[in-house]
């Protein structure tokens, strides 16, 4: 059970790191300012979605980093 927990924790860590990177790469709004909390951008949402799906697919295939 412990190895399963550490594997899940590792996957969560990878997901969080990818979400952080995706948010750093999110485009600025039309006004040139970063989006405010709760405000979505198409590029940021796409990057976040890609990170989530890639991590999920990796977890399902059993690959390890």
pLDDT at 24: 76
pLDDT at 63: 55
pLDDT tens-digit readout, 3-14: 777 888 888 999
Neighbours of 42 (CB within 10 A): 9
Kindly write down the DSSP assignment for every residue of 6-61, as one continuous string. HHHHHHHHHHHHHHHHHHHTPPPPTTSSPPPTT---HHHHHHHHHHHHHHHHHHHH
pLDDT at 32: 55
| pTM summary value | 0.37
pLDDT tens-digit readout, 13-50: 998 888 888 777 666 555 555 555 555 555 555 556 65
pLDDT at 51: 58
């Amino acid at each position: 059970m412990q190895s399963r927990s550490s594997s899940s924790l590792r996957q969560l860590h990878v997901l969080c790191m990818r979400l952080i990177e995706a948010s750093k790469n999110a485009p600025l709004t039309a006004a040139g300012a970063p989006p405010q909390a709760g405000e979505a951008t198409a590029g940021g949402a796409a990057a976040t979605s890609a990170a989530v799906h890639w991590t999920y697919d990796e977890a399902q295939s059993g690959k390890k980093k």
